[in-house]
Each structure stands twice: as C-alpha cells, then as structure tokens.
Amino acid sequence: MPRPRRFADLGPVMQLAFVPSDFEAALRHWTGTMGVGPFFLIENIRLEEMRYRGQPTDAVFSLALAYWGDTQIELIRPDNAAPSIYTGPYGVRDRLHHVCILVEDIAEAYATCAAAGAEILVEGRFGSSRVLYADPGTGPGTVVELLARDPAAPDLFAVIREAARTFDGRDPVRRLG
C-alpha cells in the first residue's frame, strides 16, 4: 500500500488548539459559556528532545484538554519565551492555532510532510509518544500537529473524553501531574 501523501490521508482532525491571550478567561468561557469540560490541566511541560525549526529549545508550556463530543479542545499557555510555535511568528493568539491528527506511524507523518513540502516546526517526545508540528505552507494559524501515541501507554484521552460525557459544570478544571 502506498504511503499517504496528503495530510487528510493520515486520519481525521481530532483536536482544535488555541493559544488564548488570557488563559483563565478562556477556561471560564469554554466551561461556562460553551459548556465544554471538564478541562484537565497539565502544567510546565517540557517535551523531551524538543527541537524548534531544527534547533534545541527549552520551551515550557502548560495546556488544558477537554472534549466537545468527539473533538478535543486544547488551550495552551506558553510559560517562557524560549523559541517555539507559541512565541515568535507562530505565536498567534485568540484564534485557531493548530489542529491535531493522531497517527499510527510517525515515519508516515514525516513522509507526508516531505511530500507536501511542509516545514517541520517542532519535533519531540512526550513520554513514549512522538510528536511533530508542521507548517504545510500557509503560515501561522494553520499548523498541523501529528501525534503518534504509544499504544502501550495509558489512554489519557479516553479518560478525558469519558469525564466530558457526564460533565455537569462542577469542578471545571482538574489538575494532572
């Protein structure tokens, strides 16, 4: 079977990610106004072996994850000014920052990026999962995250999705880690 050569061939978009100017206000908006939640907060993340545009970086960020039906909503807060997609030219605020596609094979993701002429912006590991962020040539706000989760690792996304199924507005932000 030939390797995928278009991003859509890798799978459906499962996440919409935003970098709000006011992280706390965004959490209140999504949980209160939109009724999405609960959000699970993971703070001070440092991707292992993180590279931004080919260079090592010490970027630190926090994120909150929730589900709206089958779509994951991610809110991101950069915690330092180190080079990353959350600062500089890719640090767009208050609009769609990137989408995420879960992939089974990170090599396929790289091959698709190469075939599309997409610039690899970020590469790294989160535990035993591999992640890359690519710019398919349309600039800030249209970045694509390609995440290859370790199938042997606990499925945090399933836990968050299940919590959303019965979310009643109480305990809207829950800390992890």
Domain boundaries, the chain: 7-165
CA distances to 80, 128, 130 from 152, in Å: 32, 9, 13
CA distances to 23, 30, 59, 147, 149 from 113, in Å: 31, 32, 23, 13, 18
Q: Give the DSSP per-residue string, 68-112.
A: ETTEEEEEEEE-S-SSSTTSGGG---SSEEEEEEE-S-HHHHHHH
User: Lowest mean pLDDT: which of 2-6, 83-87, 132-136, 156-160?
Assistant: 2-6
Q: What is the pLDDT of residue 4?
A: 58
pLDDT one-digit tens code per residue, 29-72: 999 999 999 999 999 999 999 999 999 999 999 999 999 999 99
Q: What is the pLDDT of residue 2?
A: 61
Q: Is 160 helix (H, G, I), strand (E, B) or coil?
A: helix
The DSSP call for residue 7 is G
Q: Looking at the chain, how many residues does it have?
A: 177
Q: What is the pLDDT of residue 154?
A: 87
Question: How far apart (Å, rounded) are the C-alpha atoms in residues 107 and 122?
Answer: 15
Q: What is the pLDDT of residue 139?
A: 78
Q: What is the pLDDT of residue 42?
A: 96
pTM of this structure: 0.94
The DSSP call for residue 9 is G
H runs (alpha helix) in the chain: 23-28, 106-116, 156-165
Pairing of the two strands 173-176 and 13-18: unpaired
Residue 1, pLDDT > 60, answer: no
Query: Are 117 and 137 in contact, with CB atoms under 8 Å apart?
Result: yes
CATH of domain 7-165: 3.10.180.10
Question: How far apart (Å, rounded) are the C-alpha atoms in residues 72 and 66?
Answer: 6
pLDDT one-digit tens code per residue, 2-14: 655 799 999 999 9
Question: How far apart (Å, rounded) are the C-alpha atoms in residues 17 and 95?
Answer: 9
